[in-house]
Structure 1
């Protein structure tokens, strides 16, 4: 048994192993980088969207105050299931600003024409056949329907799907809800002097 590091070291010590200590170091750095950079950038995008849409932030804050009250300062794991709008805000941000590209070998950097068919960049998350007003930040779309985030609904795969699904999906989603909920419940956020959502 053991943790990931124990297993990697055990594999490295096997007689015919091609795994080196450097390989293990790189793998562990990938784990940490993937888990921190993607979460922090998603949180940053979420705050950006909420600051550009103050009515959505007010709605999320009202839900938090109703569920947590004014005295409780941080969101707990047990609170997340009682905060559907907060979860919808996180999901909508993941739809509009996926944290990473999970189809790396087949990644598009621009619109591509393939066998006479235009494959637009961001086609999955912004497909108007799947999403009504896809360019609009609308967490409410996740309240009206149950959309699977683990690779079953191919219009929404922020964590990838199949063999390439993010192993940290559950932890990342939970942490995003905890951090965002605490940040917008404890602090009042607004754009700086002279700025408005329009500019």
Structure 2
């Protein structure tokens, strides 16, 4: 409960509390302490290392390509003004080039080159390849974003590829993979990273305030 608030709308559910209440349906038992520790560790590691790695690569490209940094700075100043020191969260959606820079960073330098492995439940022929039951499959996330059949000049850092129109407006790019999969830094489908939106928000916020 937030200090000084008694309204139920202000109640905040903690992640650990959800684990204490969780019951495994097949085994009909609660989580053991070590299982909760592992889940909390994965929760923290997955949400910090990946975001910081992505941020490092984006900022490295800002240094490597000063013209990109300058264009981003101009757009930021257009939104927040010259006198304002900080870019606020509500400003981020008004800076389409910022989103493009972040998406290009995730495409060119995904923080994880693999997603979680998947098991094949039945024999299947996929694009002419026989995949037997029980084999483990993984997805080469980086190579998907570097595919020259999908991306023009895939090894170049070009944020404008995520912009469209004469006004440089933001393109409606589906990073969840629900319509098509061109890259998948957060995975795709039902098992996509549950914090992908938060990760992009953090990256936009940090990049905007570091430029």
Answer yes or no: same fold by TM over 0.5: yes
Moved more, 139-148 or 170-179: 139-148
Structure number with larger C-alpha Rg: 2
Relative to structure 1, is the Cα distance of residues 67 and 138 closer, same or farther in structure 2, using a 3 angstrom cutoff?
same
* Contact 1:42–1:99 (8 Å) recurs in 2: yes
Q: How far is the alpha carbon of 1:97 from its aligned partner?
A: 1.0
* Contact 1:126–1:134 (8 Å) recurs in 2: yes
User: Over aligned residue pairs, what C-alpha RMSD do you find?
Assistant: 2.6
Q: What 5-or-longer segments of structure 1 have no aligned partner?
A: 107-113, 185-199
Q: How far is the alpha carbon of 1:13 from its aligned partner?
A: 9.9
Q: What 5-or-longer segments of structure 2 have no aligned partner?
A: 1-11, 119-127, 130-138, 165-170
- When the two structures are superposed, what TM-score results if normalisation uses the length of structure 1? 0.79
Counterpart CA distance in 2 for 1:141 and 1:12 is 46
Where do residues 119-138 of structure 1 align in structure 2 (5 Å cutoff)?
Answer: 122-138=142-158
Counterpart CA distance in 1 for 2:147 and 2:28 is 48
User: Using CA pairs below 8 Å that are at least 6 residues apart, which structure has the higher relative contact order?
Assistant: 1
Other-structure match for 1:54: 66
Do residues 90 (structure 1) and 102 (structure 2) align? yes
3-state SS in 1 of match to 2:142: coil
Counterpart CA distance in 1 for 2:116 and 2:153 is 27
Counterpart CA distance in 2 for 1:11 and 1:90 is 35
Q: How far is the alpha carbon of 1:56 from its aligned partner?
A: 0.4
Q: How many residues were matched structurally?
A: 175
Counterpart CA distance in 2 for 1:72 and 1:36 is 28
Among 16, 27, 34, which residue is 2:46 paired with?
34
Counterpart CA distance in 1 for 2:23 and 2:32 is 6
User: Going by fraction, where is strand more abundant, 1 or 2?
Assistant: 2
